[in-house]
Structures are given as structure tokens and as C-alpha cells.
Structure 1
Amino acid sequence: MEYFLKSSGSTSQKPKYTQAPTSVDSDGVKMADTKVETIARLAQWKIENFGPTTPYKRSDPFKIGIWNWHLSVEKNRSMYIRLFPESSRVSKDQPPVARFVLRVTISGSNRRPYVSPIHERLLRTSDDFVCPVDVIFQGRFVIDVEFLDLKICPLSGGEGNSIWPSDCMMKHLATQSTLKSLSRMLDESIHVDVTINTTDGTLQAHKAILSASSPVFHSMFQHNLKEKESSTIDIEDMTTESCTTLLSYLYGTINQEDFWKHRLSLLGAANKYDIIDLKDACEESLIEDINSGNVLERLQEAWLYQLNKLKKGCLMYLLDFGKIYDVRDEMNDFFRLADRELVVEMFQEMLEVWKPT
């Protein structure tokens, strides 16, 4: 149904329209120019007749994303194009934030088309976006809309989520799918080819996963060592439970609770098998909960595994923050059992902190 402008007023007020005659061709057949063609993220509206007798047109609904849309064009001193979602529960509960470009071209003409800047708007009604066009297009012309992105605007506020997968989202989905497959390989023992002997039991795993995660494991299976011949690894300094947690890390399925519970065992394994990222994760975790009850033990671990950040954190906790007075009773045993170089370094730090200013 076509409409024409009844009274030309300011565009700040919504114009009023009355029904206009339907356009017909030379044979008296109605010309349907309200349909919008779509493909991928593009929408194209071919308008057959726009001018003095039909100064307003509105398209039929067309679907892009999860919403139905309308385009409208009107002449009110200038030419204006509107883009808005069809009123529905979807557009009300999940209002779109659209990022798009408009292009207006005269059909069959070499005249330079009008191309809008990139718009990004929250669109709820026809009043949310009105694009003035400097040039008046009349007769037959084409309006193209290219949707660069469509996001669902959260009703509670905040950043919207795109309905179209981005590179990051696709990588995330691929990662999740891979981790799910790896988890099944481990949990269901799919094509396992190596046995791990722990202090209290055995586990099964895959040489390829272990080799890709650790240069030490890779060397075991690459050279003519007993592990290669027997397809067996002895990890006799880990329990079955802690070794299971190590495997869950290597297969990408570890949870925070298990990591926190077994991080000292994981630290030892990470150091032994040269799993650098796990070693770094353990060090960061051990720094987070230094207290008077564990600081001396953490200092020993830092020295043993050459964890400079952890060592610095322990010394700062003891000396800069004066917590050394809270562990006076434990210091004798610490100095008696600790590595001599560590004791010397600790005394040097103490002299540096406590020197007269």
C-alpha cells in the first residue's frame, strides 16, 4: 500500500500520510515495488516510481538476522531514508544494534550513487534512524543496505553480542569442540597407546598428546629408550590422582579446584618434564595466597624450581611487610635445612631492607 505526504512539516515530527494511488505500467498492471531482495547480509530495494504523486514508500518486511526489517523513503523538502525493525516480540525483547551502510543508485544511469557513512544505531522504531540524502532521487532508483554487523542489545545494558560468528567466536567454538574430543579420548581411552605407572596405580594416555606438550616426553618416544620400546612411563613421584590432574591439564580439561589442590605436584611435574606454561601457572597461583603458615615452604619451592617471581614475593612478604616476626619460631629449622645460598641471599635482603636510612 502506497502513501503520500499530506502536509510537509519538520522531520522532527512524524509526518502524516494518506493513501496514494497504486502505480501501474503501460498495460495497466500494478507495479510491485515494495519487495526487498536479500542475500547474505545485503538487502536491495528497487523503487519503480517515486516523485510528486508518491512522495512516500515503505517496503514489505524482509529478514536479515533474527529480525524482520522495513525500509521507507520520503520526500519532505529533502529526501529521507529510514531503516527499522518490524514491531514484534523479537524486536522488543532482543532489540538490534545495527552497523550498516546505505547506497542509493539511479537505475540505468551513470550518475554517481549516494553512499552513506557507516551508521551504528540501536533500532527499535522508525524514529530511531532517519538518513537525509543530499540529492533528490526521483522515478526509478535502488536502495542497498549492507549490514556490517548486527548485535542483540542487552535489556539490562552493556555491550551487545553479535549474532554472526566473528573470527574470535569461530576460534572459540573450534577450541571447545577440540577440547571436547580430547576429553573423550582421555576419559574413554580412545586409541590409547601408552601406560603411565604412578605411586598407587596406572593410567593410560596418548604418546602424541604427551609429546606435543613436553619436549621430555617427546624425546622419550623419539629415541630408542625403554619408554619407546615398552610404551610405558614411570612417574613414581605422583599419585594417580595428581597425575590424572596433570593429564587433564595436557588435554585441556582441567578445572580450577583440581589445579588448586594439586598445584605443588603439578609444579614438580612441570619442572621435570619442561612444561613451561604449566610451571608459570603454578608460580602465579602460589604467589596469590602467601601467608605466614606457608611462606617459608613457598620460599623453598621457589629456590628449588628457580621461580624468581615467587622468591621475590616471599622475601617481600617477610621483610618489606615485616611478617618475618610472625615466623620467628620456624626460622631456626628453616635456616638449618635451607640451601646455604638461599640463606645467604635472604640475609643480604634483610641487610638491604633494614639498613639505616
Structure 2
Amino acid sequence: MTIPVSRPSIGQEELKEVGKVFATGWLGLGSTVFEFEKELEGYLGARHVLAVNSGTTALHIALDALGVGRGDEVIVPSLTFCASVQAITSLGAVPVFCEVSPEDLNINVADVERRITRRTKAIMPVHYCGQACDMDRLLEMGRAGNISIVEDAAHAFGSSWKGRRLGSFGDVTCFSFDPIKNLTCGEGGAVVLSDDGVAELVRTKRILGIDKDTWHRYRNERAWFYEVTTQGYRYHMSNINAAIGLAQLKKFESFVEKKKDVVRRYNEAFRHIEGLRVLNWNLDDTAPFTYILRVLNDRREELIAFLAQRDIGTGIHYIPNHLQPFFKEYSTPLPATEEIGEQILTLPLFYDMTEEQIRSVIRSVSEFFL
């Protein structure tokens, strides 16, 4: 059986929590979601957590609530999943692609600064592989230009910047809880922020712009009266997904420690191999999501085939977005990103990896370069 790149760790604990929701007969947005939000607020040290149905919708609704709209510019690294960019273009805003740093694949802050214009409404740093971007410089840049920093932290639940958890500071942090993230809800996401007014707007927008219904949903009741007060979306999380998240949260620290251990072992095994570049890792502050190497000398495809023969899955995270046909009108030369995009390779990293699977990955990659 092929070793997958990633896989969720789920079991009887999640089924038990979902069973409790089934017993209530209330499967949609309700008390379990609000409980999950409170648990996340406590874990993160955040003022407001609003649970939604994906990381993509978290980004979209956050930008929308901040007033990002047609013609506004949002600076975003090209090396990210296309969801980051789709959240921008769906509002009629313009993605301004920027470079990443080869050392950790995080947003190149100096390049961001060069691309700020009077139309820049937001900057979207992507915490790649789970490692935090330079939030001090980004927030300073945002304050200086009245620019919102909307963090794409889809990879980075549980990670920190200089000892402070992502989501406990800054403007807006958006998490993903999809099937392969460090913490999964099956599907889900969250918008985390401190501004009371923006939080209330997100809370209303996530359920079709309907106001004055929250009290009843805390009691798992449906009121017949409602008011639509703003443009909204069907973005709310269900009690079923929140129940999975509650069970996952109890196990989360063990997930992180196991993945840190695998990353350490990979780094030690690969850092001295000629033909590979290991990323810089700050594991003290990072909950690792995925493990990515840079394969030099145009040998990536060869390595992919070699590992496939040994039943080891690999991935590419990601194809640079400025090269995608749908985003062609926003394309700009990004030589560093284009070079990196031809080199990056994702190796298996998940909580339930066995000792033999870890050794097989290390042994096979090492043998390829002998």
C-alpha cells in the first residue's frame, strides 16, 4: 500500500461526539458550533472566533467584511493554493502577486513593500507549511498604510510568532479545518479577529446576512421571525463538523509533537544530501502541516517516479498562481517563485505514520541520491 502524503487521524472519539449531535436532532449551526468556537478562543487566546464551512470561505468573508471590493488590490504570494486567490477575485478585487523567500517559502516582505500602491486594501501572508511569516514587519507595514493584514493560516493552526499564537494578535487570521489539516472538522474553517464590529458583521454574513437569530440557535431552536440586514452567504459551520473538531482539539498537541519529530528526522537525514535543499524550520514555534523539500538540478520528476516505485506518495504544493490560465491578466514575472515552483516536492507527513513508513521515506530518498 502506498504511503500517502497526508491522512487524517480520526476514530471513535469523533464518532462519539457526532453521535451526541445526532441525538439532539439539530445538525446545522447551533450550540455545538458555539462550544467549539469558545474552545478555540481559549486555546488561541483570541477575542472572537467565527466558525465557517471552509478555509476558503473564511478568507472570502473576512475580506468582504473588511470592505475589500472591486478594484481594490490585495497583495498575495503566487506560491499558495488557488483558494487564496479565488477569495480575492470573487470580490472583484485584484490579486497582486509577490515573491516568496527560498529559505522557508513564506512571503517575501521586502517584495511586498515594493508592490504597495494607493489601491492596496489588504496583504494576505500565507504561513507556509505551518511556519509563521514575519508578522512584526507585516503589521507595521499595515499600520503605516492603513492596510489590513488578512492571514491565510490554513497550514498553521497551533503555530506561533515569537511565542504568541497565530490568531491571538493581528488583524484577521483565517484557519482551515479540512480533512488533511492538523486539526480537522471533516470540512471547516474559522475567522479569528479582535475587532468587535467586524466580528459581528462576519457573524451575520456567514448565515445569509440574517440578524437577530443567534439566541435561538444557542438553544437549538428555530425562530420564525428574521431580518436580512446585509449581503450574506451560506458559510456557517454545522454542529456535525464542530463535534469532530471538539474531539480533535483534545488530541491536537499529540498530533503536533509527532509531526515535529518526523520533521526533525527528515531534516537530519536530508540536510547534507547534495542535490536537495531543506527549508529553514523553527520548530519551537511551529505546528508543522506539510514537509517540503527543494529538489535541485531538474531531478524532481525523476525522484517522484523513483519514490512511486517504492510505494511512497509525493505532492507539489503548489503550482504558482501567476502561471495559471485563469489568473493570466494578473501575471507578473516572479523569477524566484518560478524557480522554486520547479523544485518543490512534498513528502509524507501525518500523525499516524508508522516507524517503518518514516524509515522507508528516509531510506528511499537517501538511496536516490547515492
Query: Which TM-score tier does this pair reach, normalised by the shorter chain?
Result: under 0.3
**Which is higher, the Rg of structure 1 or of structure 2?**
1
- TM-score by length of structure 1 reads 0.18
Higher relative CO (CA 8 A, sep ≥ 6), structure 1 or 2?
2
Bigger share in strand:
1
